[in-house]
Amino acid sequence: MSSIQPACLNSNSSSKISWWWVVAILYSLSGLTSLAYEVLWARLLSMQFGVSIFGVVLTVAAFMFGLGMGSLAGVRYAKLCKKPLGLFALLEIAIALYALLLPGLLHSLSGWMESIASHLTLTQWYLTQGVEALCLLVIPAFAMGLGFALVLKVVAHTPLSMGKLYGLNTIGGVVGALFPLWSLPVLGWLDSVRSVASIGLMVGIAALILSRFARAGDEKFTSSEKINQPRPPVLELVIYGGIGAGSIMLEIGWIRLYGMIMLRTEYVLGVILAVFLLGIAFGSLLLPRHPKNWLTVLMPVMAGGAVLLGMYLLPSASAWIESRQFQSFFGAMWLQALMLGVFTLPVTLVLGAWLPLMANRLGNAESSGVWLYGANCIGGGIGAIVACLVCIPWLGSEAMVVLAGLVIAALGLLWARPRLAWVAILPMLLLAWPLRNMPPVHELLPKIEANSRDLYLYEDAISLTQVVRQQDGQRVLLSDLQRMDASTEPSAVEIQMDQARLALLLHPAPHSVLFLGLGTGISMAGSLPFPDLQRTAVELSQGSIYAARNWFSLVNGNVMDTAQVQRDDARHFLSTTQHNYDVIVGDLFHPDLAGMGSLLSVQHFQRARNHLNADGVFVQWLALNQFDIQSLQVVLRSFQRVFPEAQMFMDGMHLALVGPERQMSAHIMLENLHHLSVKQQGLATGGEGAWTWLGRYWGPIPETSGPVQDEWMPYIEFNLPRARYDGRVNLANLMQWLLQRHPDANNAMKILGIGAENMNQFGRAYVATELIVRAWVASIQGDAEKAGNLIWVAYQANPQDHWIANALADNMLMSLSQAGEHGLSPRQALQRILDFNPNFVGALRAIWHLERSAGNTKESESYRLRLLAISPLDSEARATP
């Protein structure tokens, strides 16, 4: 360090690096650590609060309040402090040490929190956690805010302006927002915090060393002349505080809306935050030292107008993303970040430029800047709370973003010269009125939801839930614009009901079942044939609960009337409930969405096992088209760690992970069905019979080595988005990998305890399942002839399997034009399809049309009623008298 001697620390020196630039670099690194802490702690809170935005909001609110109070306190402390850089160094070291201690503190508090959780409602639980988070995170944020005033005093007599210092700190924040996206999948949450804390310690130590040389080399370094100034007018602080509230409401709204159309993964949330901060940094750095008065008019008009323009272009942005075929993960992130920057940069540039602009205008930029920064941060904290508790539930995200843009513009125009500029708010209000409601789904997803009609929308801080009526009359449940196999289309209804059927069939005499996720309620409807069954469902989305009761009752058999539905996060429910269950069913979901991966973690599986009765069964369903081989292996290892005797079943293109509390046996299913009537047996198995279900057995979970999904070291939510864009999510390859691990029939019989007397029944169903999976692989790979042959052989082996019958009927309907070559009329060909699969919707519709065209009213009506019984929401069948 001898090269950094007084000559280098003299502001008039011609040395290679001036001391104030060293301070600026250290403060930029401080910004990196601050935002990295914020993102890491936000992820921890999001994990505790489920998939909601509560974790993000609480972290933002705590940081904003802490930064604001620290900055305002810094006005006094910086004035009295004789060694500001030394105190800043000690604060950085203290923040780093606190970050290292915080995980242990949270762990010690978690036991107490869980002990009281069972006595609290969900709202009380969230409020308790919110108070805990605010108390714990305000402390380091207060120290960060205090550091801003101290560093401003350090550079008060240097060419480094407050705007440049603020901009450099925010640039560091951009890097800090992106750092966890690398560190979390590689290091895990705990080691990521330790890494950031190590950087903070190095910044503190470097600043401490620099403070010694600086004190010796520059008398002005400790001067308090500029910082010792009166407070700016209260009205100015209130205005800038209001702009802070509006800016955080914008940030939260953008996270909801753009995160929704860009698929809300961990990466997208980081990208949105980084783009937001980058604009603020550039706005602060690029502001001229002596700005013109016309900027006070242009800036609020540009901010408000850009917000409105962005909302008008939201459907176009969503449609563009839906239609794009991204070639790589980084290409997708880059293009989506560029699109986001185009929409948000004009606004964030203004937000970044306002602080130095108003500080210079009020005089004594350093002192005014500290006051304004503090007011802005406190306003931001209030804005975060208002956004979460008031604006999103009452107005919706889009209306909140529009309102925030208008508030920012109106408050900014209070500073404009001339006052006539206020007339600009009138056209903004006219333009804002059409944006008060969320765009319809067919505009946001014109490719997959064309000609659909919105039936229902419910939004709160947890999720945005929509029910959409498609052109054919079928209804789809969307959560944050993502489809989760929640449709009333007949084949989708079957796969949803199968989630309950398999799980309940694997228990000898189920009396209680818990569904972790409700969705449309159709999966729970699969449990209706089982008598004397206590049904409980846990669902976090209030919109889904309402939709299941009011929009899907025609398809779910009004199952909501016979079930207890608990609005709660599955992890919180399992951590607090005192009840145990015979069967627990884990619903399907998108595993790469932010916050969802923890539902496939070792900790979550252990919570489920802790609430199984002695002969209990836990079944976790996975949609194979959402995984690559590597991510699926992680889930399998995680499940097997908790359930060493875990087994797998294949139903369609969904994989069931079965965690039994005792040795699995075919006799369990047969004993279960023995207690039911013949009619109940048919309904309980979906008309497929016990041997079809036993034939879907896929063997024990294969042994592999590698990481598991851990709540403190996530893997899936960081690997899957990369895998999807890089082409590694390949359903054919995944199914081939599973086929290689499918045990032969003899081994399967040994595992399931099936005797020789049942070899033929089991063997035919077992082989048929493998054949249909091989047929799907061939179809995906484009070998239609091979797929068709395999389907036919599979049907001959087990005609009761609905997936095989559907595949065969599909092939026959597609080749209907060739029926004449085999001497069949269209009516005969369609009737033959129905002989193979009596409930095949396509053939029923076609033969109904045929009979109606021929004037056969009676026959036509019978086919229409059959179609309506299978698909009660079919618009054509319902509309025809």
| Full set of structural domains in the chain with CATH | 17-212 (1.20.1250), 482-754 (3.40.50.150)
How many CB atoms are closer than 10 A to CB 706?
Answer: 10
**Residue 230: both structure tokens together:** 């009166």
pLDDT of 139 higher than 50: yes
Section 88-98 average pLDDT: 95
Q: Which residues of 651-668 are buried (b: 16+ CB within 10 A; e: fewer)?
A: bbbbbbbbbbbeebbbeb
Say which range, 138-147, 388-397, 482-491, has the weakest mean pLDDT. 482-491
pLDDT of 730 higher than 70: yes
**Residue 150: both structure tokens together:** 């101290």
Cα separation of 192 and 40, whole Å? 8
**Residue 244: both structure tokens together:** 């802070």
- pLDDT given for residue 43 in this prediction: 73
- pLDDT given for residue 290 in this prediction: 67
Based on C-alpha coordinates, what's the Rg of the chain?
31
As a whole number of Å, the end-to-end CA separation of the chain is 91
> Which of the two residues, 529 and 230, has the higher pLDDT score?
529
The tens digit of pLDDT for each residue in 618-636 reads 999 999 999 999 999 999 9
**Residue 300: both structure tokens together:** 């609020």
pLDDT of 845 higher than 90: yes
Cα separation of 788 and 783, whole Å? 9
Q: What is the DSSP letter of 391?
A: I
**Residue 68: both structure tokens together:** 């604001």
Q: Model confidence at 726, in pLDDT bands (50, 70, 90)?
A: confident
> Which of the two residues, 486 and 537, has the higher pLDDT score?
537
- pLDDT given for residue 212 in this prediction: 81
> Which of the two residues, 80 and 537, has the higher pLDDT score?
537
Contact yes or no for 555/872 (Cβ under 8 A): yes
Section 747-769 average pLDDT: 95
3-class secondary structure per residue, 666-716: HHHHHHHHHCCCHHHHHHHCCCCCHHHHHHCEEEECCCCCCCCCECCECCH
Section 289-307 average pLDDT: 86
Q: Which residues of 435-455 are buried (b: 16+ CB within 10 A; e: fewer)?
A: beebbbbbbbbbeebeebebe
pLDDT of 5 higher than 60: no
Strand extents, DSSP E, 95-252: none
Contact yes or no for 748/766 (Cβ under 8 A): yes
Contact yes or no for 300/409 (Cβ under 8 A): yes
Q: Specify the pTM.
A: 0.90
Cα separation of 176 and 158, whole Å? 27
Q: How far is CA 739 from CA 723, 732, 743, 772, 775, in A?
A: 21, 10, 9, 11, 12
Angle in degrees, CA 165, 167, 169, rounded to 5: 70
Q: What is the DSSP letter of 757?
A: G
